[in-house]
Chain A
């Protein structure tokens, strides 16, 4: 995904672009845009440190709601569920995506190659609610009820395309003569894969995994539909908390989730950026 963004950036750099910076009032618009984008989040984070039990009545700075949230058994259970689901789904989705990317990039040309590529990335465009309903109907029609297992399977499904994209981008940009050089230096196909292909692909795999992890961690709709009692994840639990009334506890736990996601996305960004400078020679 960031590969894509960088590509457009490069294209824009090369072309002589309209110097929009000279238009009057543009700075103000940009400022308004960022306010629009971030004020709700800033407010959310701000009130998580409120010591009053009413969200909107500022009383004073305190971290009591964080302590409360952390000691809430239901939240602990939801966090645990979220981590289990995200970890297992990420591992499976990344493995499947890696194999898929290898087949598509290195399997030579085979019938239905373009179609397969389309089919792998299509779920990115399918409305989430459609996927959710489809998966729900599927599980109930085959009578599958594994609790958290159902959630994990559903998460693997929609995480695959997210994990797939950076891996494929990395693979496409990889110099195949490196693998030939390894074979020339007496490495068998397996050794070539193990000692050359995988290490070179690693930044793509890590980036794909991190993306899949964040997507899984933040998912709400599909999890809400598929997960039964006892398989509540953090986003679903936060939603149920809100229905019982807004307390700064919701703000606190949302803020924790926010910064956790930001941390992973930042790490993803650093990894993919690093891998890009490495491929240039």
Chain B
């Protein structure tokens, strides 16, 4: 089977009564990649993961792993292992027994088994912890034990359901990097569920953005962020200023949008497959809108008044009221050399500038 479609999800639906937890999902996951399922709570991420693991049977559709159809294969025969959201560490077993649980069937000698468990403990930097009880572990350690336990059988695929959700912020950031390194080290395909967009962007090779049981967009983090194709995705990954309107003219990699609130906006960005008259949004990321204290003499700009600013240390968010527009426009600036302090007080008149390349055309919802 090709490495491109190592895991193949074909028209998968899962209904619970009237709830369509997954609704006709089709995409492929490549061999050896770190793949994230990203979406708000309740969008069907866990359900999809559980179908990969074999704990739920699809209502419709088929799943292939390494070319093998999974329909008739129970969880304990699938070449996958899962790290559960709650870690599911067996409380009646020691750390070593937890990690060695999957080896039970392998008919290893005691020495071979110990060796494998020790290797796994080394992998998660917990050498010497084998004799501990499950209730003597911190949150981060439980998470690592769950990882080691799932990896010890060297599955083809490791499934992780919000593995960092229960950890505090500092530890989570540290574990993001560790998990990434671990995946590179073992070379196993990771399919990872999260509702945290930053986590997905930091860790993944590719991301599937899900909403209401559907996979909306699948792409690498940079492309998803810079060239989203749906307003939902544009908004869910980071923040976005939307200027709604309709296409006034389009062609030659250039379009003008007649917006309902702020006049016309020109775009030379991605998504040029619209025609004149289509209802669209011209979308610009806050960090692509720069504040100027003098009226620009060229390029695209709009005038506004500072409404409020939020100082975040390394950067600042500034909200600008623009005449004719209901919601303020959000800009983000780096606080280099104390730049944020020069924005001035409220009602200070400023100009917002941007490059036409950074204007993304999106269909309206």
B is a partner of A: yes
Does A22 count as interface, using CB distance less than 8 angstroms? no
Does A182 count as interface, using CB distance less than 8 angstroms? yes
Name the interface residues of B121-137: CB closer than 8 Å to any CB of A: 134-135
Does B91 count as interface, using CB distance less than 8 angstroms? yes
Kindly identify which residue among A182, A184, A279 contacts B91, using a CB–CB cutoff of 8 Å: A279
Does A196 count as interface, using CB distance less than 8 angstroms? yes
CA distance A99 to B61 in the complex (A): 36
Task: Tell whether, in the assembled complex, residue B82 and residue A184 are in contact, meaning their CB atoms are under 8 Å apart.
Answer: yes
- With contacts A185-B149, A186-B105 taken as known, whether A178 is within 8 angstroms of B88 at the C-beta atoms is yes
Name the interface residues of A194-221: CB closer than 8 Å to any CB of B: 195-196, 199-200
CA distance A175 to B102 in the complex (A): 19
Q: Which residues of B contact A199 (CB under 8 A)?
A: 92
Name the interface residues of B87-101: CB closer than 8 Å to any CB of A: 88-92, 101
B-side interface size class:
20 to 34
Does B27 count as interface, using CB distance less than 8 angstroms? no
Task: Tell whether, in the assembled complex, residue B91 and residue A181 are in contact, meaning their CB atoms are under 8 Å apart.
Answer: no
Task: Tell whether, in the assembled complex, residue B90 and residue A184 are in contact, meaning their CB atoms are under 8 Å apart.
Answer: no
A196 (CB) vs chain B CBs: closest residue: B90
Mask of B146-177 contacts with A, CB within 8 angstroms, 1/0: 00011001000000000000000000000000
Q: Which residues of A contact B77 (CB under 8 A)?
A: 186
Task: Tell whether, in the assembled complex, residue B84 and residue A278 are in contact, meaning their CB atoms are under 8 Å apart.
Answer: no
CA distance A188 to B85 in the complex (A): 22
Number of A residues with CB within 8 Å of any CB on chain B: 20
B149 (CB) vs chain A CBs: closest residue: A185
Task: Tell whether, in the assembled complex, residue B91 and residue A278 are in contact, meaning their CB atoms are under 8 Å apart.
Answer: yes
- Closest approach, in angstroms, between the C-beta of B79 and any C-beta of chain A? 10
A176 (CB) vs chain B CBs: closest residue: B88
Q: Which residues of A contact B104 (CB under 8 A)?
A: 186-187, 191, 195
- With contacts A181-B82, A278-B135 taken as known, whether A186 is within 8 angstroms of B76 at the C-beta atoms is yes
CA distance A281 to B90 in the complex (A): 11
Does B247 count as interface, using CB distance less than 8 angstroms? no
Does B13 count as interface, using CB distance less than 8 angstroms? no
- With contacts A185-B102, A187-B76, A278-B135 taken as known, whether A180 is within 8 angstroms of B88 at the C-beta atoms is yes
Task: Tell whether, in the assembled complex, residue A184 and residue B135 are in contact, meaning their CB atoms are under 8 Å apart.
Answer: no
- With contacts A185-B81, A185-B101, A186-B153 taken as known, whether A177 is within 8 angstroms of B88 at the C-beta atoms is yes
A277 (CB) vs chain B CBs: closest residue: B135
- With contacts A196-B90, A199-B92, A281-B91 taken as known, whether A177 is within 8 angstroms of B75 at the C-beta atoms is no
CA distance A186 to B103 in the complex (A): 9
Task: Tell whether, in the assembled complex, residue B75 and residue A183 are in contact, meaning their CB atoms are under 8 Å apart.
Answer: yes
Q: Which residues of B contact A178 (CB under 8 A)?
A: 88, 90-91
Q: Which residues of A contact B75 (CB under 8 A)?
A: 180, 183-184
Please report B residues at the A interface, Cβ cutoff 8 Å: 53, 55, 74-77, 80-82, 84-86, 88-92, 101-102, 104-105, 134-135, 149-150, 153
27 CB contacts below 8 A, A to B, read A175-B88, A177-B84, A177-B85, A177-B88, A178-B88, A180-B88, A181-B90, A182-B101, A184-B55, A184-B75, A184-B82, A184-B150, A185-B101, A185-B150, A186-B76, A186-B153, A187-B101, A187-B104, A188-B76, A199-B92, A200-B90, A200-B92, A278-B91, A278-B135, A279-B91, A281-B134, A281-B135
Please report A residues at the B interface, Cβ cutoff 8 Å: 175, 177-178, 180-188, 191, 195-196, 199-200, 278-279, 281
The 7 A-B residue pairs whose C-beta atoms are closest, nearest first, are A181-B88, A185-B102, A177-B88, A199-B92, A186-B76, A183-B75, A184-B82
